[in-house]
Amino acid sequence: MTVAARPSTGTPTVLVLDAEPLPRLGRLTGRARIEHTDESALAERLPHADVLLVWDFASHAVRSAWPGEGPRPGWVHTASAGVDHLLCPELAASDTVVTNARGIFDQPIAEYVAALVLAMAKDLPRTLELQRERTWRHRESRKVAGTRACVVGSGPIGRAVARTLKALDITTALVGRTPRTGVHGPDDLDRLLSRADWVIAAAPLTERTHGMFDARRFGVMQPSARFVNVGRGQLVVEEALADALDKRWIAGAALDVFTDEPLAADSPLWGVPGLIVSPHMSGDTVGWRDELGAQFLELYERWAAGRPLVNVVDKKRGYVPGH
């Protein structure tokens, strides 16, 4: 845990990079000066802030606004699990502490992955299509119990996915950056992919993971395998995935994250056979924004009291270590 620098005197200024709906920060009334900004004014406002709350977690504005003259906030919190959208060399090299929303999305994403696995195993997309067509067509579906899954990413989200899949009696292997008890290392990945019925990408985006699911990796998978990405869009070479599905190298896939979001209406991914497209919603359950706001307020209480912060990101690695 890390103690972030606090102003020695005066009322702290919390700068919020806005997105609708705005966070509920009423608990800070009289204790902090809350200022709001959009992307266009962020660079101008940064030198006057003690804390930056990146509420617009889809924005890349921090990366472009951070370099420059003048002081910078001692603490940056992003209302997201991923931090690739805000890290730049200048921020990574600074003394600023970065925290993320670790813990908010773990179980919702795990449930979403389980839903996708069951939907593909039971051919639910086709059932709904046939219902709309008023067509009675009996088919056989697949039993998930006894199948194998490879979950790539051993952080809280990956571990929650593994636990949930194991509850469905799916034999699950977890792959992380370094091997340890219960976690395979990168050297085991290809072997595990070649045996997996379900491949789940839940890794953070780093130099090592960028484009890791490419034509070679899809070629390693067995023809009956299904692939799911709930990590970051850039983990996947999307053209290679589309080609693998078109050539039936793998049996199906589901993407909840994409290289460019929102996915353009004319993107060929919409029409790829066997691909389920969802709009980056796997972790967003009813009340999730309130949970994100409450998490920031809890962290602020620690910061204001001079206590160590939790969810501190290793800015060189690009994620919260310790898993």
Instruction: List Cβ neighbours of 135 (8 Å cut-off, separation of 6 or more).
Output: none
33 in catalytic set:
no
Q: State whether the Cα torsion 69-75-78-81 is positive or negative.
A: positive
Helix (H) or strand (E) holding 98: strand 97-99
36 in catalytic set:
no
Helix segments in 209-281, DSSP class H: 215-220, 238-246
Per-residue b or e along 119-147, where b marks 16 or more CB atoms closer than 10 Å to that residue's CB: bbbebeeeeeeeeeeeeeeeeeeeebeeb
Query: Strand, coil or helix: what is 16?
Result: strand
* From 85, 159, 226, 232, the catalytic residue: 232
Cα 46 to its chain centre, rounded Å, is 26
298 in catalytic set:
no
* From 44, 90, 239, 261, the catalytic residue: 261
Other beta carbons less than 10 A from residue 54's beta carbon: 26
* From 36, 280, 302, 323, the catalytic residue: 280
Q: Are 196 and 224 in contact (CB under 8 A)?
A: no
Catalytic residues: 232, 261, 280
